[in-house]
Structure 1
Amino acid sequence: MLAIKRGKISEIIEQRSELTKVKVELRTGEIRKAINYDDLTGVVSLQDEVIVNTTAVELGLGTGGYDFIVYVEGSEPKNLDGLGHIMKLRYSPFQLKTFSVEEEASSWHKEIKNFTSLREHPVIVGSLHSMLAPVAIVLNELSDFSLKLAYIMTDGAALPLKFSDTVAKLKQKDFLGTTITIGHAFGGDLEAINIHSGLAAAKEVVEADVTIVAMGPGIVGTGTQYGFSGIEQGEIINAVSSLDGIPLAIPRISFSDQRKRHYGFSHHTLTVLEKIALKEAVVGVPKLSSTDKQEELTKQLIEADLNQKHDIRYRDGNELLELVSKSDIGVSTMGRNEKEDPEFFMTAGIAGLLALEELEVSF
């Protein structure tokens, strides 16, 4: 079910590449924040009459308190000229045309068709979008050369890549190279149909040194063992391994989350690594100054028998956390920054460090 309301643009808050944040005055007089994707619904101006989807905000869910504009009166979005015939959001009222790397008309069709192996390409696999920034920061700050970094955004959460403020900031600082959107996610520099062809594009088209794979902003969780969208992390680990890549899984570790199921190793991570990942992954774990916290992590690893199944590597994450703190790219997870949830961000940074170690071995 959709909640739809009419209103008019009362203020332009912010504009960046093909995304505009606005305030909308509804016909009731209420003022709401909203996002317009300019390439989908057309450019908006003050006083434009619009129709907005208010469903998530009315349900008290995420999206940063933003509604989404679905129609702008009198605006003319981009037409269907140009290449591409792969539909995303298929058979929905919002289905859109994309030009995927796999298509025969693509200049990269041959590379994707002839792709056979990642050839030990390091692929960092996260379960939350908030892991992207600390990984990218560490990779760029510690690399001895100009690192070519690809980001594959899955369709586990937000579908439009342009919704991500993090991606916009990382791209602005040249901390992130080519973005690839797979599944029904869209708006990347490259489009791909699934994780396998997305990985092929990262290796053969982008020629990335390191690839990061994670969903966009937002995650679905239900408090059940298997009912969360981050379960895709295990399936991505399998895909990377089956293509002869090196999967480096970012465990979700926190001692600041008040929910018991997310204390230490999140139950999400334990489910993914124990039940879903069928292949071995490199898993970086921080060395902590707190004996109690370190013992909790050790106990969880033993209980899930993960030391036998995966390549567990311990690293000091304090200096990596400092790199994240010094960066002007703000980081947060579940509303907490790196000072409020240090273990989460140092763990993500360790994945970047381990990827650089793999590159040193390959060179």
Structure 2
Amino acid sequence: MKQKKLGFGCMRLPLTNSQDQTSIDLPQFCKMVDTFLQKGFTYFDTAYMYHNYVSETMVREALVKRYPRDSYTITTKLPTMMLKTKDDMERIFNEQLEKCGVEYFDYYLLHCLNKANYAIAQKLDSFRFIEDKKNEGKIRKIGFSYHDNSELLDEILTAHPEVEFVQLQLNYLDWDNSNIQSRKCYEICKKHDKPVIVMEPIKGGMLAKVPEEVEKMFKSYASQLSVASWAIRFAATHENVMMVLSGMSSCEQLEDNVSYMENFKPLDEEEMNIIDKAVDTINSSIAIPCTACQYCVEGCPKRIPIPKYFELYNYFTQFGTASNSLLHYKNFANNHGRASDCIACRQCENHCPQHLHIVDNLKKISAEFDK
């Protein structure tokens, strides 16, 4: 199946209640799936724990039950960070087949490999597990998603040439970031001849809400294109990128994305120069570069809604007023832990794909909002 370069990421589906990640707006999601397929796009990406473990089920309801199996591509992931024994892999994989309502996955990944999770995968022989499932006909292509440095990526691909693709965080803000190393990791994939699937091209929505100066820069060059389009097109422009995932949360976001990706046009040199200028401006305005992936929230002993507090703090630092952010902070704190409740166990930091100093940032937030 020849695929267009935009994939539907099912990590940020439309909700009926913004405080409840399981409250998927199924009618809207179905409408989005319909539009996506009608426009010739076929790739859907989900994972075991997305939306508090209901994303795969919603994909079954909105996509699998409503369309023939050969009309779409479905991808999900084995949560390496949750594995304790080899039996966990078989149990979770079979559960995923049932939740998604399919007999096989087109693409299947070891989820979120970094130094710690790679050690788990090695210990439990997870690469052999997914290769065996491929040989059984239950997986078409195997790979992994990755959140660490380029040196470790090179080590993994050297040790496991059997993988067929790598999913990387790649966007224009992280391209030369020393922590994320998008460019270096992309080049390692090219070295090993592994195509790249891009995640977080808009950095959790951050590159759809850029500083006013950057928005004016984009609009003065191409007034008809959205701010987000620059980020999606940047990722898709790279020749070794086979797919760019976008976590679309509304019909409007989906319609915007398909409008410029239906007949994709790579960025030219002038547009790349504009993006270079945008990066400098954006970097100077972001206090905490969080993508709101929610990985840090799982298992927090104090139930602190870390991404929500980071978002409020960024708003506060960008717009110079605490009143609105403080109001929302108090609303969250009524039902969740406050920033000051952090006990510095650093479990969240071990799971953070952005390698943020979460504990230190929570102290900054507490100093502003708990006083």
Please report the TM-score for the alignment, with normalisation by the length of structure 2. Answer: 0.30
Q: Which one has a larger percent strand, Structure 1 or Structure 2?
A: 1
